């Protein structure tokens, strides 16, 4: 693994941190660097990060992702810069940046990206990273037109309504936009950890505005009544402080539960959600209990552990981090301890993850689970 991958972290700030990170990567690969993921927190200037790394390391290609918090081994990093270097000589890759989420533009771009390479498949994964100004719903319409409803498309993104609009996804040309990375000869093993449990009686979504991800009515009443029923006298305080994120909606679809993050409540009682909404679907309020979450993690990671080692690229949920609060650090430590020293771990927090949903047989976006990719 050491001859193909390397991860590094610097908690120094500004340009000093960028140079420190570059020196750490050079200790692993002093001569040549093929591809570099760079993750950094909002205190760093994105253009300065990419320009300095280009000058010091001269990677063939790289992607920079700005996130509210990073993950490095068994820690959450609130301020810092990290890198994941992919230096395998047998892996080929192509990069692309697009500045529109209009479905036809996405379709055309993805067809161009994959045209010269055999179809996206098990050892030909496609990664996509979306800044907050792009709609995942619109983007996925275009991706399905180009790739089909079910293909190995993985990635992450941000939503401006959740106050993460400062986060960026940039390419080596210093241009911000949707970042596409298409690898050939690289095996990636995807994995998801859930952990949310249903609360109370099931409900039915009876009226929506699907294109805006808004739920107007639940059980024939204004959607906010669902929370008012359970919260009682605490409802107004929850509404005032926008605490509905503590209890996301779990929608039953294709034999699985899909989480919807309630981002806001409108004056008419409608719920503005992060995640695809649909009418006539059943669901529950959901909650995440830290002690139960930590208990299930070792068993949930057994499909990853059987591979013996590698770099686990983690895209964790900002919704999950907000719910767990101080326990979020313990969650990351539990994952690292369960994997052991044969696995390195690096990643970041995002509003949602993109992944192929095997039960729904389509590319989907999820707001509450831990999504990861094992690079073997």
Summarize pLDDT for 297-310 with one digit per residue, the tens: 999 999 999 999 99
Cβ-Cβ contacts under 8 Å for 145 (sequence gap 6 or more): 103, 104, 106, 107
**Structure tokens belonging to residue 128:** 């996509």
Residue with tokens 């900002």: 318
Residue 189's DSSP bridge partners are: 374
pLDDT at 212: 87
Angle between helices 14-28 and 46-57 (to 10 degrees): 40
Measured distance CA(82)–CA(22) in Å, rounded: 10
User: What confidence tier does 279 reach under pLDDT thresholds 50, 70, 90?
Assistant: confident
In this prediction, what percent of the chain has a pLDDT beyond 90? 66
For 190, the token pair is 């995807």
Residue partners of 185: CB distance under 8 A and separation at least 6: 88, 90, 91, 92, 123, 124
Phi, psi angle pair for 192, to nearest 5°: -130, 135
pTM of the model: 0.92
Q: pLDDT digits over 115-150, tens only?
A: 765 555 555 789 999 998 899 989 999 999 998 878
- Confidence band, pLDDT 50/70/90 cuts, at residue 285: very high
Helix (H, G, I), strand (E, B) or coil at 198: strand
Cβ(25)–Cβ(84) under 8 Å? no
| Rounded Cα distance, 254 and 122, in Å | 23
SS3 of residue 36 by DSSP = strand
What would the pLDDT profile of 317-338 be if each residue is shown by its tens digit? Answer: 999 999 999 999 999 999 999 9
Helices within the chain (DSSP H only):
14-28, 46-57, 103-115, 136-147, 225-231, 235-240, 290-300, 302-305, 318-324, 328-339
């Amino acid at each position: 693994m050491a001859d193909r991958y390397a991860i590094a972290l610097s908690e120094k700030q500004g340009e000093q941190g960028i140079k420190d990170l570059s020196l750490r990567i050079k200790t692993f690969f002093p001569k040549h660097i093929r591809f570099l993921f760079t993750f950094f927190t909002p205190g760093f200037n994105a253009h300065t990060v990419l320009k300095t790394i280009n000058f010091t390391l001269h990677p063939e290609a790289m992607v920079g992702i700005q996130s509210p918090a990073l993950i490095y081994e068994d820690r959450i990093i609130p301020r810092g810069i990290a890198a994941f270097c992919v230096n395998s000589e047998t892996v080929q890759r192509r990069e692309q940046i697009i500045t529109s989420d209009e479905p036809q533009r996405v379709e055309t771009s993805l067809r161009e990206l994959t045209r010269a390479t055999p179809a996206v498949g098990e050892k030909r994964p496609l990664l996509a990273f979306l800044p907050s100004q792009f709609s995942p719903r619109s983007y996925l319409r275009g991706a399905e037109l180009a790739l089909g409803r079910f293909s190995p498309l993985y990635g992450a993104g941000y939503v401006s309504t959740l106050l993460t609009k400062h986060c960026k996804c940039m390419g080596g040309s210093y241009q911000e936009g949707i970042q596409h990375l298409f690898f050939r000869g690289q095996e990636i093993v995807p994995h998801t950890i859930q952990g949310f449990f249903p609360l109370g009686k099931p409900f039915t979504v009876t009226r929506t505005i699907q294109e805006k991800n808004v739920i107007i009515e639940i059980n024939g009443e204004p959607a906010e009544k669902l929370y008012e029923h359970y919260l009682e006298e605490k409802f107004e305080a929850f509404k005032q402080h926008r605490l509905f994120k503590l209890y996301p909606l779990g929608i039953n679809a294709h034999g699985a539960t899909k989480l919807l993050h309630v981002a806001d409540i409108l004056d008419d009682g409608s719920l503005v959600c992060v995640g695809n909404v649909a009418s006539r679907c059943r669901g529950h309020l959901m909650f995440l209990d830290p002690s139960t979450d930590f208990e299930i993690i070792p068993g949930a990671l057994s499909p990853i552990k059987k591979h013996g080692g590698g770099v686990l690229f983690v895209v964790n949920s900002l919704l999950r981090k907000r719910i767990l609060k101080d326990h979020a650090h313990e969650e990351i430590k539990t994952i690292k301890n369960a994997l052991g020293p044969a696995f390195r771990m690096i990643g970041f927090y995002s509003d949602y993850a993109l992944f192929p949903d095997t039960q729904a047989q389509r590319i989907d976006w999820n707001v509450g689970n831990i999504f990861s990719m094992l690079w073997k």
